[in-house]
């Protein structure tokens, strides 16, 4: 059986081809388009995967998309209703994109596939996986382990931001999860934003900056921003953040805690920014390993 996996329409679009349980090819679209973090339909990545496997799209039995868009829209809608009217600006910014394309990803993907391989009922072959189950599968199935605990952490999927599960053989389940807005990934992205880098793009720059600093703000993060429990679960103090209902990651309370406004993009990096990077890196590692 051949399964084509697709990630698209958010950031870093990509494709992978699995044949009888083995990954035979994988590629990111930005490698071909030369557009960093290219979010578009991964046409060239798909073409490359099929060529490497020596098959055509018509030979593919199933196509898997990495998350469930309707559940993601549910989160967006419920979050707006819970914070209205404060979150209207963010909601109004997101709605045109959702109403134009993201709510209708299934027919869009079917059209894309049909253009490449007409005459096939792609709707019946198209599957949607939950976001964190996709993360867990990409970690467990290529691993050398027959059975393993599986931990996933990111910004947010549909609702889930952190999951703990178990894999054995072909079986994989997620047993526990933490949900939006409490997210280690979004905490890291908040510092990415605060240090003047682009969210969902510049986190690697923040990580690269960390070794040049000292974690002198780590205790402030642990005391004020994140309530870390003995079992590794956590909650964020949302009074310091604006990502739930606003258009920014952080707010004035965050600025006061760390001694100033966010760094302007492309402005000079100071030792303070390096220390902030070192601090959130240390806290992130502490949370992951707890």
Catalytic residue list: 11
Angstrom distance (rounded) from CA 134 to CA 60: 19
Tell the burial category of 187 from Cβ atoms under 10 Å away from its Cβ (0-12, 13-18, 19+): buried
Angstrom distance (rounded) from CA 235 to CA 84: 22
Lookup: tokens for 14: 């990509």
Contact 35, 94 (CB under 8 A): no
Task: For residue 89, give the nearest of 245, 242, 193 by alpha carbon.
Answer: 245
CB atoms within 10 A of CB 148: 15
Contact 244, 181 (CB under 8 A): yes
């Amino acid at each position: 059986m051949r399964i084509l996996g697709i990630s698209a329409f958010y950031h870093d679009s990509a494709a992978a081809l699995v044949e009888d349980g083995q990954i035979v090819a994988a590629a990111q679209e930005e490698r071909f388009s030369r557009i960093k973090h290219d979010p578009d339909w991964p046409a060239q990545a798909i073409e490359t995967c099929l060529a490497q496997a020596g098959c055509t799209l018509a030979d593919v039995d199933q196509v898997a998309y990495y998350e469930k868009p309707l559940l993601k829209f549910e989160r967006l809608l419920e979050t707006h209703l819970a914070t209205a009217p404060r979150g209207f600006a963010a909601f109004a910014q997101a709605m045109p994109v959702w109403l134009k394309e993201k709510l209708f990803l299934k027919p869009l993907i079917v059209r894309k596939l049909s253009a490449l391989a007409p005459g096939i009922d792609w709707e019946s072959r198209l599957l949607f996986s939950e976001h964190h189950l996709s993360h867990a599968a990409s970690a467990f199935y290529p691993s050398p382990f027959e059975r393993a605990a599986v931990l996933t952490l990111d910004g947010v999927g549909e609702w889930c931001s952190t999951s703990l599960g178990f894999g054995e053989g072909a079986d994989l389940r997620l047993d526990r999860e933490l949900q939006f807005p409490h997210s280690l990934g979004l905490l890291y992205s908040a510092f990415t934003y605060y240090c003047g880098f682009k969210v969902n793009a510049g986190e690697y720059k923040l990580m690269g900056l960390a070794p040049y600093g000292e974690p002198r703000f780590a205790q402030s993060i642990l005391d004020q921003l994140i309530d870390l429990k003995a079992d590794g679960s956590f909650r964020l103090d949302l009074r310091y953040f604006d990502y739930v209902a606003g258009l920014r990651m952080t707010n004035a309370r965050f600025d006061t805690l760390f001694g100033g406004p966010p760094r302007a993009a492309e402005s000079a990096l100071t030792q303070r920014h390096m220390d902030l990077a070192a601090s959130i890196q240390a806290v992130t590692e502490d949370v992951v390993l707890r």
